[in-house]
Amino acid sequence: MKVPFGTILITQKSKDLINEVLNSTRVSSGKYVREFEKAFAEIVGTKEAVAVSSGTDADALALAVLYDFGAQRNDEVIIPALSFVSTGNAVLQAGFKPVFVDIEEKTLNINPQEIEKVITEKTKAIMPVHLMGHSADMDSIKDIAQKYGLYVIADAAEAHGAFYKGKDVGVLADMSAYSLYIAHIITTIEGGIVVTDREDFAEILRSLRTHGRACKCEKCVLNISSTYCAKRFQYGEGVDIRFIFERIGYSAKMNEIEAIVGLGCLEIYNEILEKRRENLDYLMNKFKKFNQYLVTIEEAPYEKMAPYAFPVIIKRGVPFDRNQLMEFLEKNGVETRVLFSSMPTQCPGFSFLGHKLGEFPDAEYIGLSGFHIGIHQDLNKEHLDYFIATIEKFLTNTLI
């Protein structure tokens, strides 16, 4: 049996709309991107959503908004040491310095008790990551941010449908950045999106995604239908607003085809979410039998985890390592992914920052001992039972 890590569903309605758009030749960012933004904002419960070309761009552009509010190049952003590398990359791409904090091993998320220790005069924001769809401790993080006058910009890449104390995690930060990559619960193939309740943030985000242009209307008539725009020459005779660049920006637009795929996902979002949650709950219950050797994260009473994937952590002192188990699973058809790394000490690309192995022990432990498998909507109980049986077979063979 094969247990693939990810899947993608492109609905028939999406396929029909894609053909329509291809025939019209209007394939760059336009009306369908705006429709997708509105629909995504409604699902999360925010006033605004701005679609971009990737989850990394979503992180980077959200951070770049802060330059309009006094931030300077090389100011600091606090992030967890453990995350997919895009979190750290985005901080650097936005022109800030990442300041790493260790995680809590049981939650995989940033340890709030360590945050205040690294705050300096140059700190501008805290970027928690809701890793594996498990919400960070947002109450503690927001309290710290308020105390020091910092922004909270959440990396919610894996947190579609996650709730924290009755609220969608997307509404808990000043901005929340999502990935829309293939493996995620809502996908546009590639893509990302930033949600916020602040109209001024959204306006700047729209500028940033198009090179910092002065064009930043919620609905651009030039993109949608090439009709007359009353604002086009507001800067004076012969000066085109489309070529006025108010800030350093990015080239990070979502196109119409991607947005249409996303709209198809949103139409059946609840079905996708329900099936993935069913798979997550099933595995979390079945997996308890392995607690002597393997553990997974647990859902707190006050939260509802996003069913992004199923994480597995090898316990200390067992007579096997992660790579042995992953290799066995892969040979038996179960696709796996490592549970990321300690960016500052296990990712060579960050070595220039000067961190040494041992600075972030919990993140480093997970970086060597954690992996995850898919729980997507195309998997059924037969696939999940096969995964459990394969784990049992490995343990039986290893422990004899």
pLDDT of residue 221: 46
pLDDT score, position 217: 65
91-150 per-position pLDDT tens digit:
999 999 999 999 999 999 999 999 999 999 999 999 999 999 999 999 999 999 999 999
Q: Count Cβ atoms below 10 Å from residue 369 Cβ, excluding itself.
A: 21
Mean model confidence pLDDT for the chain: 94
- The tens digit of pLDDT for each residue in 13-25 reads 999 999 999 998 8
Which residues share a beta bridge with 295? 313
Cβ neighbour number for residue 172 with a 10 Å cutoff = 23
Q: In this predicted structure, which of 54-68, 221-235, 325-339, 367-381 has the lowest mean pLDDT?
A: 221-235
Q: Comparing C-alpha atoms, which of 325, 305, 316, 321 is closest to residue 373?
A: 325
Supply the pLDDT for residue 331: 98
155-205 pLDDT tens trace: 999 999 999 999 999 999 999 999 999 989 999 999 999 999 999 999 999
User: How confident is the model at residue 220, as a pLDDT?
Assistant: 61
Q: How far apart are alpha carbons 154 and 168 in whole angstroms?
A: 12
Q: How many residues does the chain have?
A: 400
**Closest-CA residue to 177 (of 72, 98, 61, 59):** 59
Q: What pLDDT does 225 receive?
A: 56
Return the amino acid letter for 256. Answer: E
Mean pLDDT for the stretch of residues 37-55? 98
Query: Tokens representing 73?
Result: 């190049």
Confidence at 234, pLDDT banded by 50, 70, 90: confident
- Please give the average per-residue pLDDT across 287-297, as a whole number: 96
- Position 35 pLDDT exceeds 60: yes
Topology (CATH level 3) of domain 12-267? Aspartate Aminotransferase; domain 2 (3.40.640)
Cβ density class 44-71: b for 16+ within 10 Å, e for less: bebebbbbbbbbbbbbbbbbbbbbeeeb
**Can you give the residue ranges of every domain in the chain?**
12-267, 270-399
Q: Which residue has the higher pLDDT, 120 or 232?
A: 120
CB 3 within 8 A of CB 335: yes
Mean pLDDT, range 330-348, rounded to an integer:
98
CATH fold for domain 270-399: Aspartate Aminotransferase, domain 1 (3.90.1150)
Quick one: average pLDDT of 66-88?
98
Please report the beta strands in 81-219, taking only residues with DSSP state E, as ranges in sequence order. Answer: 82-83, 97-101, 123-126, 151-155, 163-164, 167-168, 175-179, 192-196
Residue 195 DSSP class: E
Return the half-sphere exposure (C-beta side, CA atoms, 13 A cut-off) of residue 150.
Answer: 27
d(CA 266, CA 167): 19
